Amino acid sequence: MEQEKKLTEQESLHLITMMINKAKESYHDTGIGAIMWGAVIAICSLVRLSEVQFDYKLPFDIYLLTLVAIIPQIFISIKEKKERKVKSYDDAYMDYLWLGFGISIFLLIHISNNIFGEWGSWANEYRNITGKPVIFRFSEYVAPLFLMLYGMPTFVTGAACKFKPMLWGGIFCWICCIIAIYTSIKIDLLLTAASAILAWLVPGIIMEKEYRSYKKEQAQLNV
Protein backbone atom coordinates (compact mmCIF):
# COMPACT_ATOMS: atom_id res chain seq x y z
CA MET A 1 0.00 0.00 0.00
CA GLU A 2 1.44 3.36 -1.01
CA GLN A 3 1.72 5.76 1.87
CA GLU A 4 0.67 9.10 0.38
CA LYS A 5 -1.71 8.09 -2.40
CA LYS A 6 -4.58 10.57 -2.52
CA LEU A 7 -7.94 8.94 -2.65
CA THR A 8 -11.23 9.82 -4.27
CA GLU A 9 -14.21 9.96 -1.88
CA GLN A 10 -15.57 6.65 -3.20
CA GLU A 11 -12.18 5.01 -2.79
CA SER A 12 -11.98 6.28 0.80
CA LEU A 13 -15.36 4.83 1.68
CA HIS A 14 -14.46 1.54 0.02
CA LEU A 15 -11.14 1.39 1.89
CA ILE A 16 -12.83 2.06 5.26
CA THR A 17 -15.38 -0.71 4.68
CA MET A 18 -12.70 -3.13 3.51
CA MET A 19 -10.43 -2.50 6.50
CA ILE A 20 -13.27 -2.73 9.04
CA ASN A 21 -14.23 -6.09 7.51
CA LYS A 22 -10.60 -7.24 7.58
CA ALA A 23 -10.40 -6.34 11.27
CA LYS A 24 -13.63 -8.24 11.99
CA GLU A 25 -12.37 -11.32 10.16
CA SER A 26 -9.27 -11.44 12.31
CA TYR A 27 -11.03 -12.53 15.52
CA HIS A 28 -10.66 -16.27 15.53
CA ASP A 29 -11.00 -18.31 18.66
CA THR A 30 -8.98 -21.51 18.60
CA GLY A 31 -11.96 -23.41 20.03
CA ILE A 32 -9.68 -25.60 22.17
CA GLY A 33 -11.22 -24.39 25.45
CA ALA A 34 -14.74 -25.13 24.21
CA ILE A 35 -13.69 -28.60 22.98
CA MET A 36 -12.03 -29.40 26.31
CA TRP A 37 -14.97 -28.26 28.49
CA GLY A 38 -17.54 -29.92 26.22
CA ALA A 39 -15.63 -33.20 26.44
CA VAL A 40 -15.02 -32.94 30.21
CA ILE A 41 -18.67 -32.22 31.11
CA ALA A 42 -19.93 -34.91 28.71
CA ILE A 43 -17.49 -37.50 30.15
CA CYS A 44 -18.39 -36.58 33.75
CA SER A 45 -22.13 -36.88 33.06
CA LEU A 46 -21.81 -40.18 31.17
CA VAL A 47 -19.54 -41.73 33.81
CA ARG A 48 -21.99 -40.65 36.55
CA LEU A 49 -24.81 -42.12 34.44
CA SER A 50 -22.96 -45.44 34.22
CA GLU A 51 -22.45 -45.36 38.03
CA VAL A 52 -26.21 -44.95 38.52
CA GLN A 53 -27.15 -47.42 35.79
CA PHE A 54 -24.76 -50.24 36.73
CA ASP A 55 -24.79 -49.53 40.45
CA TYR A 56 -21.08 -49.10 41.13
CA LYS A 57 -19.01 -46.26 42.51
CA LEU A 58 -15.65 -44.94 41.43
CA PRO A 59 -13.15 -44.39 44.27
CA PHE A 60 -13.33 -40.63 43.54
CA ASP A 61 -15.97 -38.14 42.46
CA ILE A 62 -15.79 -37.95 38.65
CA TYR A 63 -16.81 -34.29 38.77
CA LEU A 64 -13.39 -33.54 40.30
CA LEU A 65 -12.26 -33.73 36.67
CA THR A 66 -13.79 -30.26 36.21
CA LEU A 67 -11.38 -28.89 38.84
CA VAL A 68 -8.42 -30.59 37.14
CA ALA A 69 -9.52 -29.08 33.79
CA ILE A 70 -9.02 -25.58 35.19
CA ILE A 71 -5.22 -26.05 35.00
CA PRO A 72 -5.02 -26.65 31.21
CA GLN A 73 -7.66 -23.92 30.75
CA ILE A 74 -5.32 -21.39 32.40
CA PHE A 75 -2.49 -22.42 30.07
CA ILE A 76 -4.80 -22.32 27.02
CA SER A 77 -5.98 -18.79 27.94
CA ILE A 78 -2.42 -17.51 28.48
CA LYS A 79 -1.22 -19.05 25.19
CA GLU A 80 -4.18 -17.67 23.21
CA LYS A 81 -3.67 -14.19 24.67
CA LYS A 82 0.04 -14.27 23.82
CA GLU A 83 -0.61 -15.33 20.23
CA ARG A 84 -3.30 -12.72 19.64
CA LYS A 85 -2.02 -9.76 17.65
CA VAL A 86 -5.18 -7.78 18.14
CA LYS A 87 -7.49 -7.16 21.07
CA SER A 88 -11.15 -6.59 20.35
CA TYR A 89 -13.56 -4.67 22.57
CA ASP A 90 -15.51 -7.92 23.10
CA ASP A 91 -12.51 -9.80 24.51
CA ALA A 92 -12.73 -8.29 28.00
CA TYR A 93 -16.53 -8.73 28.18
CA MET A 94 -16.26 -12.36 27.11
CA ASP A 95 -13.52 -13.03 29.67
CA TYR A 96 -15.68 -11.56 32.46
CA LEU A 97 -18.77 -13.41 31.23
CA TRP A 98 -17.07 -16.82 31.34
CA LEU A 99 -15.27 -16.04 34.61
CA GLY A 100 -18.64 -15.08 36.11
CA PHE A 101 -20.08 -18.33 34.76
CA GLY A 102 -17.27 -20.35 36.36
CA ILE A 103 -17.79 -18.65 39.72
CA SER A 104 -21.58 -19.20 39.48
CA ILE A 105 -21.08 -22.91 38.75
CA PHE A 106 -18.85 -23.39 41.79
CA LEU A 107 -21.31 -21.43 43.96
CA LEU A 108 -24.14 -23.62 42.68
CA ILE A 109 -22.14 -26.77 43.50
CA HIS A 110 -21.56 -25.42 47.02
CA ILE A 111 -25.24 -24.45 47.47
CA SER A 112 -26.58 -27.78 46.17
CA ASN A 113 -24.12 -29.77 48.30
CA ASN A 114 -25.32 -27.87 51.37
CA ILE A 115 -28.99 -28.37 50.54
CA PHE A 116 -28.31 -32.03 49.73
CA GLY A 117 -26.61 -32.54 53.12
CA GLU A 118 -29.44 -30.96 55.08
CA TRP A 119 -32.11 -32.61 52.95
CA GLY A 120 -30.48 -36.03 53.42
CA SER A 121 -30.55 -35.85 57.21
CA TRP A 122 -34.11 -34.52 57.16
CA ALA A 123 -35.22 -37.34 54.82
CA ASN A 124 -33.58 -39.98 57.05
CA GLU A 125 -35.34 -38.57 60.09
CA TYR A 126 -38.68 -38.52 58.23
CA ARG A 127 -38.20 -42.16 57.15
CA ASN A 128 -37.31 -43.26 60.70
CA ILE A 129 -40.28 -41.50 62.31
CA THR A 130 -42.99 -42.21 59.75
CA GLY A 131 -41.63 -45.43 58.23
CA LYS A 132 -42.70 -44.08 54.82
CA PRO A 133 -40.31 -43.64 51.88
CA VAL A 134 -39.41 -40.10 50.82
CA ILE A 135 -40.82 -39.52 47.34
CA PHE A 136 -39.20 -36.17 46.67
CA ARG A 137 -35.62 -36.46 45.44
CA PHE A 138 -33.62 -33.26 45.53
CA SER A 139 -30.91 -34.71 43.27
CA GLU A 140 -33.37 -34.81 40.36
CA TYR A 141 -33.65 -31.02 40.42
CA VAL A 142 -29.92 -30.25 40.39
CA ALA A 143 -29.36 -30.87 36.65
CA PRO A 144 -31.95 -28.29 35.47
CA LEU A 145 -30.19 -25.62 37.57
CA PHE A 146 -26.84 -26.41 35.94
CA LEU A 147 -28.37 -26.59 32.46
CA MET A 148 -29.98 -23.19 33.00
CA LEU A 149 -26.54 -21.77 33.85
CA TYR A 150 -24.81 -23.56 30.94
CA GLY A 151 -27.22 -21.94 28.50
CA MET A 152 -26.64 -18.34 29.57
CA PRO A 153 -22.98 -17.58 28.63
CA THR A 154 -23.21 -19.94 25.66
CA PHE A 155 -26.20 -18.08 24.25
CA VAL A 156 -24.65 -14.64 24.93
CA THR A 157 -21.32 -15.64 23.33
CA GLY A 158 -23.10 -17.09 20.29
CA ALA A 159 -25.20 -13.94 19.88
CA ALA A 160 -22.33 -11.47 20.51
CA CYS A 161 -19.88 -13.25 18.20
CA LYS A 162 -22.60 -14.03 15.63
CA PHE A 163 -21.65 -17.69 15.94
CA LYS A 164 -24.84 -19.68 15.36
CA PRO A 165 -23.68 -23.13 16.58
CA MET A 166 -23.12 -21.65 20.05
CA LEU A 167 -26.33 -19.62 19.97
CA TRP A 168 -28.32 -22.76 19.21
CA GLY A 169 -26.23 -24.67 21.74
CA GLY A 170 -27.32 -22.19 24.43
CA ILE A 171 -30.97 -22.57 23.42
CA PHE A 172 -30.56 -26.37 23.46
CA CYS A 173 -29.28 -26.16 27.08
CA TRP A 174 -32.43 -24.29 28.09
CA ILE A 175 -34.70 -26.78 26.30
CA CYS A 176 -32.89 -29.61 28.14
CA CYS A 177 -33.28 -27.62 31.37
CA ILE A 178 -37.08 -27.61 30.96
CA ILE A 179 -37.18 -31.33 30.04
CA ALA A 180 -34.87 -32.24 32.95
CA ILE A 181 -37.35 -30.82 35.47
CA TYR A 182 -39.75 -33.66 34.61
CA THR A 183 -37.33 -36.54 34.03
CA SER A 184 -35.40 -39.03 36.17
CA ILE A 185 -31.78 -38.51 37.16
CA LYS A 186 -30.59 -40.89 34.42
CA ILE A 187 -32.27 -38.84 31.68
CA ASP A 188 -31.02 -35.65 33.38
CA LEU A 189 -27.44 -36.90 33.06
CA LEU A 190 -27.98 -37.84 29.40
CA LEU A 191 -29.43 -34.39 28.73
CA THR A 192 -26.43 -32.76 30.46
CA ALA A 193 -24.00 -34.78 28.31
CA ALA A 194 -25.97 -33.92 25.15
CA SER A 195 -25.97 -30.21 26.11
CA ALA A 196 -22.22 -30.19 26.72
CA ILE A 197 -21.65 -31.85 23.34
CA LEU A 198 -23.98 -29.54 21.40
CA ALA A 199 -23.22 -26.30 23.26
CA TRP A 200 -19.42 -26.56 23.53
CA LEU A 201 -17.84 -29.64 21.94
CA VAL A 202 -19.41 -29.31 18.46
CA PRO A 203 -19.11 -25.48 18.27
CA GLY A 204 -15.53 -25.86 19.54
CA ILE A 205 -14.70 -28.29 16.73
CA ILE A 206 -16.26 -25.91 14.16
CA MET A 207 -14.27 -22.98 15.65
CA GLU A 208 -11.07 -25.00 15.56
CA LYS A 209 -11.63 -25.91 11.89
CA GLU A 210 -12.29 -22.26 11.01
CA TYR A 211 -9.19 -21.20 12.94
CA ARG A 212 -7.06 -23.75 11.08
CA SER A 213 -8.32 -22.64 7.67
CA TYR A 214 -7.77 -18.97 8.66
CA LYS A 215 -4.19 -19.77 9.70
CA LYS A 216 -3.63 -21.66 6.44
CA GLU A 217 -4.99 -18.71 4.44
CA GLN A 218 -2.72 -16.32 6.32
CA ALA A 219 0.29 -18.56 5.73
CA GLN A 220 -0.48 -18.70 1.99
CA LEU A 221 -0.87 -14.89 1.85
CA ASN A 222 2.49 -14.42 3.54
CA VAL A 223 4.33 -16.70 1.10
Partner 1 sequence: MFKELDPILHSQLRLAVMSLLISVKEAEFTFLKEKTNATAGNLSVQIQKLKEAGYIEIIKQFKDNYPQTICKITSFGVNAFEEYVKNLQSYLTNHK
Per CB under 8 A, 20 contacts partner 1: yes
141-168 burial, b for 16+ CB within 10 Å, e for fewer?
ebbbebbbbbbbbbbbbbeebebebbbb
Per CB under 8 A, 16 contacts partner 1: yes
Distance CA 188, CA 180 (A): 5
Output 55 or 83, the one with its CB closest to partner 1: 83
Per CB under 8 A, 99 contacts partner 1: no
Output 135 or 219, the one with its CB closest to partner 1: 219
Per CB under 8 A, 53 contacts partner 1: no
Contact set for partner 1, span 160-219 (CB under 8 A) = 218
Least distance (Å) between residue 10 CB and partner 1 = 7
CB atoms within 10 A of CB 211: 15
Output 28 or 134, the one with its CB closest to partner 1: 28
Per CB under 8 A, 10 contacts partner 1: yes
Output 22 or 57, the one with its CB closest to partner 1: 22
Distance CA 58, CA 51 (A): 8
Output 61 or 80, the one with its CB closest to partner 1: 80
Per CB under 8 A, 82 contacts partner 1: yes
Distance CA 151, CA 41 (A): 14
Distance CA 216, CA 193 (A): 33
Least distance (Å) between residue 98 CB and partner 1 = 18
74-113 burial, b for 16+ CB within 10 Å, e for fewer?
eeeeeeeeeeeeeeeeeeeebeebbeebeeeeeeeeeebe
Question: C-alpha 111: how far from its chain's center?
Answer: 20
Binding site for partner 1 (CB under 8 A): 1-7, 9-13, 15-16, 18-20, 22-24, 26, 82, 85-89, 91-92, 218, 221-222
